[in-house]
Structure 1
Amino acid sequence: MKKLLSVLLSALLLVSLFAGCSSGGAEGSGSGSSAHKVAILQYMTHSSLDNCTQGVKNALDAAGIAYDVQIGSSGSADADCQSYAAQMVAGDYDMIIAVATPAALAAYSAVQSASSTIPVIFCAVSDPVSAGLVQSMDAPGNNCTGTADSFDVAGQVDIIKQLQPDLTKLGVIYTTSESNSLSQLERLKAQCATLGITVVERGITEASELASVSASLVSEVDAITNLTDNNVVENMSVVLEQANAAGIPVYGSEIEQVKKGCLASASIDYVALGERTGQIAVDVLGGQSAATYPVVTVEDSFKVVNTDVASQLGITIPDSMSDVQKVTTSVE
């Protein structure tokens, strides 16, 4: 009797966790004609990851595949994702699609801990090899594959130099526990070294440190550039507040950040990245092996400038950037 009661309680917990658009991180579900059903785990809410998830849903909707979505909450995203991932593995799902490196690590760990055969498809993981999700980009080896967003460091530095040709010190804030940020930081420093630019880096362990770190950094640099760091992107308004007060440009890592007040970016299309991830998921559900499906790296970027911010900072957009996409600040 006690065993039966335990089973019933577990079932009720799964139902409450994934039903509809409830609170506590739930982001609803999508119905489909396919016999398959997948769980989507998004690390936290911010524009880049929201666009990724929308792209994934676009692909799954087109294939008629049902899904449930869970999103980690600000301030507790790591713990949330670990809890959600464990519930997803215990639930009646054929696959987990994880958006962002921390979510992918949580999903992969939950699958491994349960000795499950559920494939994990990741989206927007900059360095899945260093993260331990795959053995190599061409031959993942594990029951795990997906898409990597290769931040266009060279393109980012180029647009910064075109807008600020006299720049010599570039600031960057990153989360020390985010492996994607660490790999991007090394690439940024290498690129800047070839141009005589000094990178002034500041690591944080949690979002609450951003205000003080930003306030200090703006007095030491000519500009700040974002990486695809989840903590920084989610709390970008904190960085912008300090930078704007000091008249220091902030460069975003994708277009949505530029629309919200960053000066410019060499941006990846994250909706398209999500759609490519969703197609990989469809292929794996159709019989292809995640262990042998090569990781798809998206490297294409486009340059975008916020003309409102450029005007406010007194920065002239040079003729060499006549073909750049121009946006204005969106008020939410």
Structure 2
Amino acid sequence: MKKSMKALLLAAMTVTALAGCSSKPADPTTAATEAVTTTAADSAADTAADTTAAEGADAEDGKSYTIGIGQFAEHGSLDNCREGFLQGLADEGIIEGQNLTILYENAQADGGTASQIINNFISKKADLICAIATPIAQAAYGGAKKDNVPVIYTAVTDPVAAALANEDGTPVGEVTGTSDKLPVEKQLEMIRKILPDAKKIGILYSTSEVNSETAIAEYKAAAPDYGFEIVEGAVTSTADIPLAADSILEKVDCLNNLTDNTVVSSLPMILDKASKKNIPVFGSEVEQVKIGCLASMGLDYVDLGIQTGKMAAKVLKGEKKASEMNFEVIEEAAFYGNSKVADNLGITLPQELTDSAAAVFDEITQ
């Protein structure tokens, strides 16, 4: 017997039993019909109440929004971007749980998964897509432009090289956002102050990330001015990193980490290998210094995310189209150091750097 028929019979039997207390027998068919009618009325009332509640939630500014947040990989700087993005939206009155629904997915550094995530956001009628890191930003624009869904990206090192912006900074379509372009010369100057005798800097990077290829080219061009040679270690996936790390550590005086998502995902392992050889690793942002890099002239990715969220708010509110806003670059870079790592390596961080530091950490967090 089907479940719905069982429910009808149970309702009829209940009414019949109650009718036994009266002077007139109850009709089971009528009782069942009345039970169904009552259930339907209750359901309609619940639906009306839900609708009224939803309308009340939207009533403050008359609109509610759905944003798909696609993050390319799992690591601290990108997590900070996401946190800052939501804060930037909230600062503009677009608040998750009130007038904002967030769809969040992480590609775990897989390009194919990134494309699937974007297609999912589009199928769920997202009003806007936030793409965190270059590979998923490229997937987002490629997947969303046919449906005219605006894309706001963050943590994209070189939007021009990623084909997300024109040479003059203007968008190539309904896509814009913020760049985490590295302060290469400031980083090299810092490394020279900390390691006055170093000659070779090793950099691991993924050949599938255009952001890393751009950064490598800039480092190679600037390094001779500071008396350095750049030694590259190219990988195609995380599986390549252990052997690549072992190889490059035999050739260099230190490692310098980029914002390469594939490499950053394996940073704890790289740090462990470097520590065993007493070779310092320099980071590109604060989270990398917290977990064991010696120092960085880095960016604050929460601030970068806030900047991105405010751009997204303008698009959602109809104040500007994504295609009307050039991408933005966060200007500030600050010194972050880790005195615990310095002690482990037998290195003294120069006072001129620590005196002006945004933060100096005295422990290694994992």
TM-score (norm 2): 0.78
Given that 1:142 and 1:291 are in contact with CA atoms closer than 8 Å, whether structure 2 keeps it comes out as yes
Given that 1:149 and 1:299 are in contact with CA atoms closer than 8 Å, whether structure 2 keeps it comes out as no
- Are 1:51 and 2:84 an aligned pair? no
Correspondence for 2:27:
none
Structure 2 distance, partners of 1:83, 1:70, is 13
Structure 2 distance, partners of 1:111, 1:144, is 10
Given that 1:45 and 1:71 are in contact with CA atoms closer than 8 Å, whether structure 2 keeps it comes out as no
Structure 2 distance, partners of 1:178, 1:187, is 15
* Correspondence list, 1:202-217, <5 A: 202-217=233-248
Given that 1:126 and 1:150 are in contact with CA atoms closer than 8 Å, whether structure 2 keeps it comes out as yes
Identity of aligned residues (%): 34
Correspondence for 1:130:
161
Rg larger in 1 or in 2? 2
Structure 1 distance, partners of 2:255, 2:345, is 14
Of the candidates 204, 210, 220, which is equivalent to residue 173 of structure 1? Answer: 204
Given that 1:43 and 1:81 are in contact with CA atoms closer than 8 Å, whether structure 2 keeps it comes out as yes
- Are 1:36 and 2:65 an aligned pair? yes
Deviations 1:92-149 (A, max 9, x none): 211101110011111111113xx21110111111111111112245321411001011
Residues matched between the structures, number: 299
- Are 1:189 and 2:220 an aligned pair? yes
| RMSD between aligned residues | 1.6
Q: 1:39 to 1:217 in 2, by over 3 A?
A: same
- Are 1:105 and 2:138 an aligned pair? yes
* Correspondence list, 1:1-332, <5 A: 34-62=63-91, 63-65=93-95, 66-74=100-108, 77-112=110-145, 115-287=146-318, 288-321=320-353, 322-324=355-357, 325-332=359-366
1:158 CA displacement: 1.3
Q: 1:247 to 1:330 in 2, by over 3 A?
A: closer
1:279 CA displacement: 0.4
Structure 2 distance, partners of 1:139, 1:282, is 19
Unaligned runs of 5+ in 2: 1-56
Unaligned runs of 5+ in 1: 1-30
1:49 CA displacement: 0.2
TM-score (norm 1): 0.86
Given that 2:71 and 2:107 are in contact with CA atoms closer than 8 Å, whether structure 1 keeps it comes out as no
Deviations 1:193-224 (A, max 9, x none): 21221100010000111111111111110000
Given that 2:340 and 2:363 are in contact with CA atoms closer than 8 Å, whether structure 1 keeps it comes out as yes
Structure 2 distance, partners of 1:137, 1:94, is 27
